[in-house]
Chains A and B, each alone.
Chain A
Amino acid sequence: NFQLRMRRVHERLAATLAKRKNAHQQFEFWSALPPELRKKCIGTMCYQTRSRLRATSKTNKKLVESVELDVESIILDGEEFQIKIKYRLGDGAIRGITCGSNGRGFKSGIYLIGWLLKSATIKQMQMVRFSSTSITDVEKQIINKMVPHKSSRISTLHIHDFDDIVLFFLEKMWTKMDRMKIWLHGGSGYSFNQLMKIPSFDYVKLFETSNFLLNYANPCAVNVYFPIIQTWVENNAPVGKKLIAFDVRRNGFSLFVKRFESLLISQGHSEVVLAPVARIGTNNPSKHILGSLIEEDDKYVLVCVVIPAVLKPDLYHKYINPISLN
């Protein structure tokens, strides 16, 4: 027993010594390294280490901000003023961190948001509870100074509560976004006029939306989405571009057919989609648009997608697949 206890003491001591040795490891030549090599070293650091190095001096701040960074997800809460970040460590493990503010407003967190929007490649970003009071004009100026228009590299964006302030952030996002989800809880003024002028919205491959307040009792009328389809018809939208509008009224399909009657190529029930489909032409003869209304538990989902003109009806499920909607 004594020997066992002593061995444990030795092991603990050895571990402490190893830790101390590591803690004192230094590399005082950092500033003597050429900037491109310092950037490569920064490239091996995780988000949190970069964040701390960024705080050491103006020179390192500039260097850190000039190196691209991979971020798994960011959640910006416009009411609690919290920034939740998930990132990968060098060995691939995922770690999460929450940055909060003591009072109202993001305060110094706005610089963190600016840095991430400028330098990070973000797999998923969520904006929660953003309203006109979430950021001040001064904070907007800071973001404007740090982040050029159409530069933020975000793959999937989920806006939980649409408000005009969101347009400010959408202006910053690049035009290669895969997926954009906009959920509404307000129900009023869901007009796409402003949204459709934003490049990141215009180019997004998959746009999903829902208006929760109008759910069940008074679902959303599909005609609010028709201006989007009209731009696809006119502006040569790429094959695969898709709109999924949840919680729409059951007359959505007949309204779609009526609205685009002059472009209608065919309509009827599809055996592969298991729903009514209508195929309309576009200004580009090699592309068509397929519209469908999928029923799910007494709720209706409008799905519209750009397809190749040569696509045969038995392959519609490649573009509209009810199973993958949720």
Chain B
Amino acid sequence: MSVEPEVPIVQVEEVRENPVLYKIISSDNHVFTISEHAVKLSKTLWDLITNLGLTAENALDNPIPVENVNGKNMETIVQFCERHKYDEEEPEYTNYIREFVLPEWDRQLLSIDNEELFQLILATNYLDIQKLMDYCCRVIGDMAKDKTPEELRIIYGIPTDAEDDALERSASDSPGPSG
């Protein structure tokens, strides 16, 4: 499988220890190269690479299509993974509050508009990148800091209970896919 890139390939820093590079194609046909260490941060992509049996010899000839992620988000994700590829492994994730300080570089990377952040968190969830997920969640969670419930309703666009109930009623009243 070989797809011609429509936009220039995103350059990644030269990989010193491991020269293996992979190609990823986003839903809008943008092509990205990513190093082996970086791609390992995504459990979904690494599982795919393992299952497809890609090796150092055939990796660049077999781009991996990722239909759920657009080029803009993929660019952010590739940048993030390349930046954090040599980080130490995180301890096991729990639902408890995680104590970490969001680095300034990452805060800048995630200073994007709401819709982009929304798409990015969905993409991160799909690609299963734990650290980026933590950082995205922290950015969204930090917006709620020191806000009153009334302010939170505005910030998160939270519907009232009555609106929630009306939404549920209309969802249950509407005919299903077959009807």
Contact = CB atoms under 8 A, between A and B. Distances in A.
Interface of A: 25-34, 37, 39-46, 49, 52-53, 55-60, 67-70, 88, 90-92, 121
Contact of B141 (A28, A31, A49, A57): A49
11 contacts: A27-B156, A29-B118, A30-B158, A40-B95, A43-B97, A45-B97, A53-B152, A57-B159, A57-B161, A91-B101, A121-B96
A55 B153 CA distance: 10
Interface of B: 94-101, 114-115, 117-118, 121-122, 125, 133-134, 137-138, 140-149, 152-161, 164
Given A30-B158, A42-B141, A56 B95 contact: no
B155 A26 contact: yes
Given A49-B145, A52-B144, A57 B158 contact: yes
A111 B138 CA distance: 27
A90 B164 contact: no
Q: List 10 A-B pairs, minimum CB-CB distance, nearest first.
A: A28-B157, A30-B156, A44-B141, A29-B118, A55-B149, A92-B99, A41-B137, A68-B95, A70-B96, A44-B138
A27 B143 contact: yes
A72 to B, nearest CB: 11
B137 A43 contact: yes
A1 to B, nearest CB: 34
A52 B148 contact: yes
Contacts of A28: 114, 156-157
Contacts of B115: 29
Which of the listed residues A27, A67, A92, A121 has the most CB atoms from chain B within 10 Å of its own CB? A27
A41 B114 contact: no
Contacts of A30: 140, 156-158
Nearest to B165: A58
Which of the listed residues A59, A69, A121 has the most CB atoms from chain B within 10 Å of its own CB? A59
Which of the listed residues A25, A46, A121 has the most CB atoms from chain B within 10 Å of its own CB? A25
Given A27-B114, A58-B161, A90-B97, A40 B152 contact: no
B98 A59 contact: no
Nearest to A49: B144
Contacts of A49: 141, 144-147
Nearest to A67: B95
B100 A37 contact: no
Contacts of A92: 99
B166 to A, nearest CB: 13
Contacts of A70: 96-97
B148 A33 contact: no
B98 A56 contact: no
A31 to B, nearest CB: 6
A257 to B, nearest CB: 47
A25 B133 contact: no
Contacts of A88: 97, 99
A67 B137 CA distance: 14
Nearest to B155: A26
A68 B93 CA distance: 12
Contacts of B141: 41-45, 49, 90
Nearest to B157: A28
A69 B94 CA distance: 10
B143 A25 contact: yes
A32 B161 contact: no
Given A28-B114, A29-B114, A56-B153, A39 B95 contact: yes
A22 to B, nearest CB: 8
Given A26-B155, A56-B152, A90-B138, A37 B99 contact: no
A274 to B, nearest CB: 42
A43 B158 CA distance: 18
B140 A27 contact: yes
Given A31-B157, A41-B137, 4 more contacts: A26-B143, A29-B117, A40-B133, A88-B97
Nearest to A24: B155
Nearest to B160: A57
Contacts of B164: 57-59
